[in-house]
């Protein structure tokens, strides 16, 4: 079992974030477990890259002196797997909000899907979703969204290193994407729908890799909690 000094000196912990947990909740739970079980009054704990509550998968959590490495991890390439539902859009580009528009899908072929994925590889201009934690004029974008306020969101350049279609069972399309820091997979799903002359939103997302770190080596919050009582 790691000691209080081990956590203060610095640990890099890999977690598989549960569905519907916010990144903030996971960090708070990890911090609370360390403090409670090792009788530490104060310890730095932070994460290297937010995941939406409706996403699961790899989160890197750093403790103590290793919180200085967070920016290093955040800048590394990320890999995601997930499912896009074509034929409908939502304001949040995922399942956080209800469908607001529906579109035809009869014209969509496998060839169109693969062609779009190929065309969308490389440096692209992407507009972040309004339901996001990015700030504009000192406010989070989702604050504007929840009030129904219009806001101009500029595009920004991100890099899609690879975009692989792994299953087509319309209206569902499964994918694996490797991308740069700052890429919104929800926006990718939305643009995917537009590119197919239809509409689309994200229905499932899992982060599988950050740099050389893989979710297969990650622990669950339950296993982490049990590690204090089992040792």
Give me the active site residues, please: 52
Q: Are 205 and 50 in contact (CB under 8 A)?
A: no
Helices (H) and strands (E) in the chain, counts: 7, 13
CA distance 201 to 92: 8
Token pair recorded at residue 67: 């919180």
The residue behind tokens 């790691």 is 2
Q: What would the two tokens of residue 131 be? A: 């339901």
Cα separation, 67 vs 43, in Å, equals 10
The residues pairing with 78 across neighbouring beta strands, listed in sequence order, are 179, 210
Is the CB of residue 126 less than 8 Å from the CB of residue 216?
no
Both structure tokens of 180: 């740069």
CB 203 within 8 A of CB 85: yes
Q: How far is 85 from 137, CA to CA, in rounded Å?
A: 33
């Amino acid at each position: 079992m790691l000691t209080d000094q081990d956590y203060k000196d610095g640990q890099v912990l890999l977690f598989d974030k549960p569905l519907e947990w916010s990144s903030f909740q996971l960090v708070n739970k990890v911090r609370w477990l360390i403090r409670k079980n090792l009788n530490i009054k104060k310890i730095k704990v932070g994460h290297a890259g937010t995941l939406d509550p409706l996403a699961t998968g790899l989160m890197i959590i750093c403790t103590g002196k290793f919180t200085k490495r967070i920016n290093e991890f955040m800048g590394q390439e990320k890999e995601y797997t997930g499912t896009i539902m074509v034929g409908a859009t939502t304001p949040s580009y995922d399942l956080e909000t209800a469908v607001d528009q529906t579109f035809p899908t009869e014209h969509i072929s496998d060839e169109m899907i693969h062609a779009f994925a190929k065309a969308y590889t490389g440096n692209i201009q992407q507009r972040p979703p309004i339901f996001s934690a990015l700030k504009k004029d000192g406010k989070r974008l989702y604050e504007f969204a929840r009030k129904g306020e219009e806001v101009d969101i500029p595009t920004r350049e991100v890099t899609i290193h690879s975009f692989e279609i792994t299953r087509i069972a319309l209206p569902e399309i499964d994918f694996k994407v490797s991308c740069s820091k700052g890429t919104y997979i929800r926006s990718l799903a939305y643009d995917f729908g537009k590119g197919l002359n239809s509409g689309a939103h994200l229905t499932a997302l899992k982060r599988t890799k950050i740099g050389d770190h893989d979710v297969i080596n990650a622990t669950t919050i339950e296993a982490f909690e049990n590690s204090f009582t089992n040792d």
